[in-house]
């Protein structure tokens, strides 16, 4: 019983460690019908809250909103101005020490991408 309690405690303590790993700059590319586009995120964890920015195609920083952390899972929204129309991109991902595998949805169209942590 004592071993089980110790394993449970270690598991619960390890979950926030994943959240801390999300801090920093993450880069990759997203494949679309229009070609591959570079993508950059800068994340900051604060408990179960995720804040940060996405670097837009014009080089401007776009804030992420609704950022949440649950163990090694993150979710957030990025809203960009697309010719006067608000374009909402919803991201959900799994964080490892070296990469984040993200599922992104825009207009109910799914995209998958991987970003890697910069050193």
pLDDT band at 104 (very low <50, low <70, confident <90, very high): very high
Count up the domains in the chain and report the number.
1
What Å distances lie between residue 103 and 73, 78, 85, CA to CA? 11, 13, 22
Average pLDDT for residues 29-38, to the nearest whole number?
A: 83
Distance CA 23, CA 44 (A): 5
Its domain, for residue 10, covers 2-117
User: Above 60 in pLDDT, residue 3?
Assistant: no
The CATH number given to whatever domain includes residue 26 is 2.40.128.120
User: Above 50 in pLDDT, residue 58?
Assistant: yes
pLDDT at 109: 86
CA atoms within 13 A on the CB side of 113: 22
Distance CA 66, CA 116 (A): 22
Say if residues 99 and 114 touch (Cβ distance below 8 Å): yes
The label of the residue with tokens 């890697």 reads: 116
User: Above 90 in pLDDT, residue 81?
Assistant: no
User: Above 50 in pLDDT, residue 4?
Assistant: no
Average pLDDT for residues 21-44, to the nearest whole number?
A: 90
């Amino acid at each position: 019983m004592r071993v089980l309690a110790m394993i449970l405690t270690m598991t619960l303590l390890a979950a926030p460690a994943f959240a801390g790993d999300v801090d920093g700059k993450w880069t990759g590319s997203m494949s679309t019908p229009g070609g591959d586009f570079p993508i950059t995120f800068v994340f900051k964890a604060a408990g179960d809250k995720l804040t940060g920015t996405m670097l837009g195609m014009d080089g401007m920083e776009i804030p992420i909103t609704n950022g949440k952390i649950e163990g090694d899972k993150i979710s957030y929204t990025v809203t960009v101005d697309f010719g006067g129309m608000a374009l909402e991109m919803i991201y959900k991902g799994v964080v490892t020490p070296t990469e984040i595998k993200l599922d992104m949805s825009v207009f109910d169209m799914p995209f998958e991408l991987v970003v890697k942590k910069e050193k």
